[in-house]
Amino acid sequence: MDGIAILESEVRELIRRRGLDPGRDAAGVHDLVHEALTDYDVRSGRGVVPVIDPAFATKAVLDAVVGFGPLQQYLDDPEIEEIWINTPSSVFVARGGEPELTTTILTAVQVRDLVERMLKSSGRRLDLSSPFVDATLPGGERLHVVIPDITRSWAVNIRKYTVRATSLTALVALGSLTTHAAAFLDACVRAGLNILVAGATQAGKTTMLNALAGSIPAKERIVTCEEVFELRLTHRDTVAMQCRQPSLEGTGEVPLRRLVKEALRMRPSRLIIGEVREAESLDMLVALNAGVPGMCSLHANSARDAIAKICTLPLLAGENVSSQFVVPTVASAIDIVVHLGIDAAGRRVTREIVALPGRVEGGTIESSTIFRQAGGRLVRADGFPGAPERFASAGIDVARLLQAPA
């Protein structure tokens, strides 16, 4: 056993004796590690394996005791966006949008222990009756786990979420938006238009929602509904809600549909739904059509696909919901669709911004492209948004705003 392993064993024993909770008293554990290391150094000259690099040993022990062991180095690396475990010997990370197979090799027991520690702070469970779990780690990362017999071995995915942008101006600085498009989206938010953000996984949908929320006037009240907490809003008047899994008895579940309904009783000026996947899209449309401005995200390959999908998802709410009701409701409830993607260099970009004027022709919702990609850059198209009265009420001359910059 090397010096670090011996030191870790001693620290764990000291934690047990002193009754410390590593998850709640990280500072106390940090002091204890320094104390144990000092004592270890005194003994290292009397036949105890010496610790060559005290700083490295301290971090290794803290990672093992307070953090998430071998995975902590990847959680601490700001360049790494995602971590996933296919098998104990196949640990991958994504850096700059590119997957990399790491040199980390775990055991099946280590993987299970790590997942149990990750779920401890969330209160969520994972067992044969509930083989899937979504949770948020203390650092804000999103955890998703699937266990056998659904998979061959424990499959773990950790998606790191760093607040890269709390405003549309910040997205311009990151190269995801042009100044012209950012000014238009800012005007849309201030005017109270309903915005649908679409794109593939990791395209930056949550970041875009965060940035759009940065344009909401300070006097308004925001209520957010998510599967697990991911949004990081800086608005002063915000209430955030997340779903809850059922208990062991199968009771107590709080699905996203319930959150959307409850949000309407909380006096929201704005409603933000992290992502719609199923029947909750119907409740969202009803809320937006009732006059509560909002925004949400969904997975789609284009703005047109996003419109088609938001017209289909509400049908999952029940047989009594028909497309004759949903299609015109979408046309009147959704004003703007922002489609995001990832370019060849792995950079998140806005591919198109499309407006829905509110008209339906032959069962198809009309759309008008405001901005589109051309030559690798987001440029002004020839479309115009609907709801001119809402822009005018907010004191915005949208026609002038959309004029091509000189």
Q: First-to-last CA distance in the chain? A: 70
Helix (H, G, I), strand (E, B) or coil at 140: coil
Same domain, 134 and 8: no
Same domain, 92 and 56: no
| φ, ψ for residue 194, nearest 5 deg | -90, 130
Same domain, 33 and 51: yes
> Can you give the pLDDT of all 406 residues of the chain as single tens digits?
466 777 777 777 777 777 777 766 677 777 777 777 777 666 666 666 666 677 777 777 777 777 888 999 999 898 898 999 999 999 999 987 789 999 999 999 999 999 988 888 777 778 777 888 888 888 888 899 999 989 999 999 999 876 678 899 999 998 899 999 999 999 999 999 999 999 998 888 999 999 999 999 999 999 999 998 889 898 999 999 999 888 777 788 899 999 999 999 999 999 999 999 999 999 999 999 888 999 999 999 999 999 999 999 999 998 889 999 999 999 999 999 999 998 887 788 999 999 999 999 888 999 999 999 998 899 999 999 988 999 999 999 999 999 866 5
Tell me the C-alpha distance between 90 and 87, whole Å: 5
Same domain, 85 and 109: yes
Tell me the C-alpha distance between 71 and 91, whole Å: 9
Same domain, 247 and 191: yes
Residue 183's nearest CA partner among 330, 378, 340 is 378
Structural domain including 145 reads 72-159
55 contacts: CB under 8 Å, gap ≥ 6: none
Same domain, 337 and 362: yes
Supply 247's token pair: 């208990």
Q: Assess contact for 402 and 392: CB atoms under 8 A.
A: no
Residue type, 56: F
Residue 177's nearest CA partner among 338, 401, 11, 39 is 338
Residue type, 165: A
Count of beta carbons in the 10 Å neighbourhood of residue 280? 26
Same domain, 117 and 228: no
For CA atoms 156, 122, 74, 98, the dihedral sign is positive
Nearest-10 crossing angle of helices 26-43, 3-18: 130
Same domain, 129 and 147: yes
Last residue of some domain: 11, 40, 66?
66
Based on its alpha-carbon atoms, the radius of gyration of the chain, rounded to whole angstroms, reads 25
Q: Is 91 exposed, middle or buried (0-12, 13-18, 19+ CB in 10 A)?
A: buried
Supply 211's token pair: 């940035």
Last residue of some domain: 142, 159, 176?
159
- CATH number of the domain that 89 lies in? 3.30.450.90
Pairing of strands 222-226, 348-355: unpaired
- Element counts in the chain: helices (H) and strands (E): 14, 17
Residue type, 67: G
Same domain, 62 and 92: no
* 18-24 long-range Cβ contacts below 8 angstroms, 24+ apart: 22/65, 22/66, 23/66, 23/120, 23/121, 23/138
User: How many structural domains does the chain have?
Assistant: 3
Same domain, 135 and 271: no
Same domain, 87 and 25: no
Last residue of some domain: 44, 66, 88?
66
pTM for the structure as a whole: 0.81
| φ, ψ for residue 251, nearest 5 deg | -115, 165
Same domain, 107 and 255: no
Residue 273's nearest CA partner among 263, 219, 265 is 263
- CATH number of the domain that 362 lies in? 3.40.50.300
